[in-house]
Each structure stands twice: as structure tokens, then as C-alpha cells.
């Protein structure tokens, strides 16, 4: 059973709710992460590991959220790798 959350107040909350409610598509996250340069890839792995081990999130969710965090923190660098 999927837990019920209050309605999202921000776009970030909406994305998070969407990720929680739907099965993760790990292949697309892996495909996007494979396009990152060495620096961005290291940052992605680090953030995903922290979310997984310190935050207790499942690995698939941690990887997806870490990619979103990178896009928010370094939009030009990440999007240059992905496009």
C-alpha cells in the first residue's frame, strides 16, 4: 500500500510525490547518469549514497533524487552532459 501524503506545496514536493507513487525506472536514471562527466558522476554517487545510507531511502529512489539535486545545484554543467 502506498502511503498517503498531504498535497504538494511546491514543484519539488510534487516531483518527490510522483517518484514515491510510481515504480522507479532505474534504466533511464542509469542512462542519464552514464552521460555525466567524472566530476558530476562522483557528486551523483556521493549524494545517492548519502540519501540511501543516512536517509534510509531505497537505492533507486536515492539515485533518482540525487540526479534531480545535481540538476538543481549545477544546471548548466549537468545539462551540458545530458544534451
User: How high is the pLDDT of residue 26?
Assistant: 79
User: How high is the pLDDT of residue 13?
Assistant: 62
What tens digit of pLDDT does each residue of 2-48 get? 456 566 676 656 555 555 554 455 788 989 999 999 999 999 999 99
**Secondary structure (3-state) at 32:** helix
In the chain, what are the domain boundaries?
A: 34-83
User: How high is the pLDDT of residue 74?
Assistant: 95
Checking phi first, is residue 25 left (phi over 0); if not, alpha (psi -120 to 50) or beta?
beta
pLDDT band, residue 57 (cuts 50/70/90): very high
Amino acid at each position: 500500500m502506498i502511503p498517503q501524503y498531504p498535497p504538494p506545496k511546491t514543484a519539488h514536493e510534487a516531483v518527490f510525490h510522483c517518484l514515491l507513487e510510481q515504480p522507479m525506472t532505474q534504466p533511464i536514471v542509469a542512462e542519464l547518469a552514464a552521460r555525466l562527466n567524472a566530476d558530476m558522476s562522483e557528486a551523483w554517487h556521493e549524494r545517492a549514497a548519502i540519501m540511501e545510507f543516512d536517509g534510509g531511502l531505497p537505492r533507486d529512489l536515492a539515485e533518482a533524487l540525487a540526479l534531480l539535486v545535481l540538476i538543481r545545484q549545477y544546471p548548466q554543467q549537468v545539462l551540458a552532459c545530458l544534451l
